[in-house]
Amino acid sequence: MNTVKTVLELRAAVARARAEGKRIGFVPTMGNLHSGHVALVTKACQRADFVVASIFVNPLQFGANEDLDSYPRTLAADQEKLLDAGCNLLFAPTVSEMYPSGTTTQTRVSVPELSQELCGASRPGHFEGVATVVSKLFNMVQPDLAVFGQKDYQQLAVIKAMVRDLNLPVQIIGEPTVRAEDGLALSSRNGYLSVEQRAIAPAIHRSLEAIATALAQGNRDLQGLMTEHRKRIVDSGMRLDYLEIRHADTLRAATEQDVELVILAAAYLGNTRLIDNLRVSLSPAA
C-alpha cells in the first residue's frame, strides 16, 4: 500500500488503477483507526477493485472550543491497519495541501435542511465543514463508491443529500456501527475516556436499545420514552446534549404514524462528546 500526500500523486495513482479497468472505492477518515474503520475498508474491498483511504483531520469541521489540536494522530499504526484490511492507497494530505489558500476564503458546501439540528445545533458549522471536505475529497479521488459509518447517522444523511443535490457520480454505502461487547459504539474519541467514564459510557446504547424494544412492543408514547431516557442518561452521570426519536430519512421529529425511525443521542462525559443511534423499522400494524 502506497501513501501519498499530494493531490497530484493521488490522481496519478487513481488514474493508473482506472486505466486498468478497476472500480475505485473510497473510505474517508480522520485517522486513529479502530475496528469500525477497518469494517469500512473491508466493505470497500468487497465492492471495489482499488480502495483508497484518506486520513485528514479536517480543521473546517471543528469548532473553536473543540479537540482539533488534541485529536489523536497515529499515522504509522493506521497505515498498518489499512494494509492489513486490504487498502491499496492512502491519501494523507497536509492542511496546506487541502486548503492551499487557507480555510477562511474556502468555498463551502452546505446542506442546510439536515445540518442545523441534533449535532448541528451544538456544533454550528460542523456539517458544512464535513460536506466541504468530503466534496473536495470526492473531486480529488473521483471514486465509484464511498463507504461511511452509520454511527455518524446525521453525517451520512448530509452526505447522501449532498451527493443527490449536486448530482455527484458516487454511490454512498452506509456500514453498520461496530460496538464493544458492552454496546459502546467504537469511536476514536473513546480513547479520551477515563476508566470510570468508560464504565458509564454504555448507558447511551442501553437507552437506545430500551427505546427500540418499547417501540417494537407497540409503545407509541414517543415523548414519554424520550423524557424517561433523557433522565436515565443524565442519572448515569452524563451531560445530555440530545436524545431524539426522528424519522429515519428526513430526520424530522417522528410522529406516532411513522414506521421508519431512528433514535439518536449525544452526551458528554467530561469534555468527551459521544454520539450513537439505532434504526428501528416498525411494522405499520404494530
Q: Is 150 in the site for ligand PAF (CB under 6 A)?
A: no
Q: Quick one: how many helices (H) and strands (E) in the chain?
A: 11, 9
* Active-site annotation holder among 34, 37, 126, 229: 37
Identify whether the C-beta of residue 120 lies closer than 8 Å to the C-beta of residue 151: no
Q: Is 28 in the site for ligand PAF (CB under 6 A)?
A: yes
State in angstroms the smallest separation of the CB of 280 from ligand PAF.
Answer: 23
Active site includes 37?
A: yes
Report the site for ligand PAF in 112-131 (rule: CB under 6 A): 130
Q: Which of 4, 7, 24, 30 binds ligand PAF (CB under 6 A)?
A: 30
DSSP H or E run through 51: strand 50-55
Applying CB under 6 A, the site for ligand PAF has a residue count of 10
Please list, residue by residue across 186-225, b when 16 or more beta carbons sit within 10 angstroms of its beta carbon and e when fewer do.
bbbbbebbeeebbebbbbbbbbbeebbebbeeeeeebeeb
Cα(228)–Cα(211) distance, rounded to whole angstroms? Answer: 9
The strand pair at 24-29 and 2-4 is best described as unpaired
Q: Is 174 in the site for ligand PAF (CB under 6 A)?
A: no
Q: Is 29 in the site for ligand PAF (CB under 6 A)?
A: yes
Over the window 152 to 171, marking each residue x when it contacts ligand PAF by CB under 6 A and - when it does not, the resulting string is x--x----------------
Name the DSSP letter for residue 214: H
Report the residue number, 14 or 172, with the smaller CB distance to ligand PAF: 172
Q: Is 133 in the site for ligand PAF (CB under 6 A)?
A: yes
State in angstroms the smallest separation of the CB of 20 from ligand PAF.
Answer: 27
Over the window 54 to 73, marking each residue x when it contacts ligand PAF by CB under 6 A and - when it does not, the resulting string is ----x--x------------
Q: Which of 134, 157, 201, 251 binds ligand PAF (CB under 6 A)?
A: 134
Cα(191)–Cα(194) distance, rounded to whole angstroms? Answer: 8
Written as one letter, the residue type at 41 is: V
Judged by DSSP in three states, 97 sits in: helix
Residue numbers annotated as active site = 37
Residues of this chain that bind ligand PAF (CB under 6 A): 28-30, 58, 61, 130, 133-134, 152, 155
